[in-house]
Amino acid sequence: MEKTGLRVRLLARIAGDWRNREQVEQTAASLEQEAGHEATYKLFKEIGKTVDIPLLIASEELAVLRERDLFGKRDSSVLSSLNAAVADFAVMKSSLQTATVPEHYQQAATTYHSKKKAHGVPADGFHEAINSHITRLGNRMSAVGISVPEKNILRQRQANMRLAKELYIDLQRNALGLEAPAKGKGLQL
């Protein structure tokens, strides 16, 4: 075996991994999975057309919980990131609950640091949690080896989170009695 040399052994393995991947990609199950991802992407896109923050958050939370069940068991190294995501959803839901009742939110807003603002509203726990999650989704999108349909789903999920943040800021403005910015100076999220 030594005579064969590490370079030859490495080339054989890289060729083998590549060929195996090609073979798997051509199986009926793989093609069906790809079609399934396409359908999932379209559904997330449809959800992204709603202005329903609880639905936007719930759909993302469900996707993350499914990933934790599926990948967390196989690979413990991804568990901490997925657990952090789950904790972020708890913060988002709690903030959302407060922001939907103006009196509650006004009271809560007195506890936020006046310098921590985003788009003229308090950069509260919701902002921190959703920003973390948007970054998390972005990091996953740049992972090597991810399929195009999977990347499309992640991109749409990220767009949905940006929309949820935009809608939440509207809720904050409403709760605090603030004017929406003039048209043309819209949110840069």
Partner 1 sequence: MSQLTTEQAQVLHQANVAYAAGNEEEGVRLMKQIPLQPELARDAKEIFGAEFLLESGFDLSEAEREYGKNWLAS
Specify the 3-state DSSP secondary structure of 142: coil
- Asked if 57 and 88 count as a contact pair (C-beta separation under 8 A), the reply is no
- Asked if 109 and 75 count as a contact pair (C-beta separation under 8 A), the reply is no
CB of 143 to partner 1, least distance (A): 21
Choose between 25 and 69: whose C-beta lies nearer to partner 1. 25
- Rg (the chain; Cα; Å): 22
Structure tokens that stand for 158 in this block: 């990220």
Which of 158, 177, 163, 174 is closest to 52 using CA atoms? 163
Is residue 143 a contact residue for partner 1 (CB under 8 A)? no
| Residue window 89-128: x/- pattern of binding to partner 1, with contact defined by CB under 8 A | ----------------------------------------
Choose between 8 and 143: whose C-beta lies nearer to partner 1. 8
CB of 8 to partner 1, least distance (A): 5
CB of 166 to partner 1, least distance (A): 41
What are residue 122's phi and psi, to 5 degrees? -60, 130
| Residue window 6-45: x/- pattern of binding to partner 1, with contact defined by CB under 8 A | -xxx-xx-xxx-xxx-xx--x-------------------
- Asked if 79 and 68 count as a contact pair (C-beta separation under 8 A), the reply is yes
**Residue position matching structure tokens 């090597």:** 144
Choose between 9 and 104: whose C-beta lies nearer to partner 1. 9
- Asked if 86 and 58 count as a contact pair (C-beta separation under 8 A), the reply is no
Structure tokens that stand for 188 in this block: 């840069």
Choose between 21 and 116: whose C-beta lies nearer to partner 1. 21
CB of 22 to partner 1, least distance (A): 6
Choose between 12 and 55: whose C-beta lies nearer to partner 1. 12
Binding site for partner 1 (CB under 8 A): 1, 4, 7-9, 11-12, 14-16, 18-20, 22-23, 26
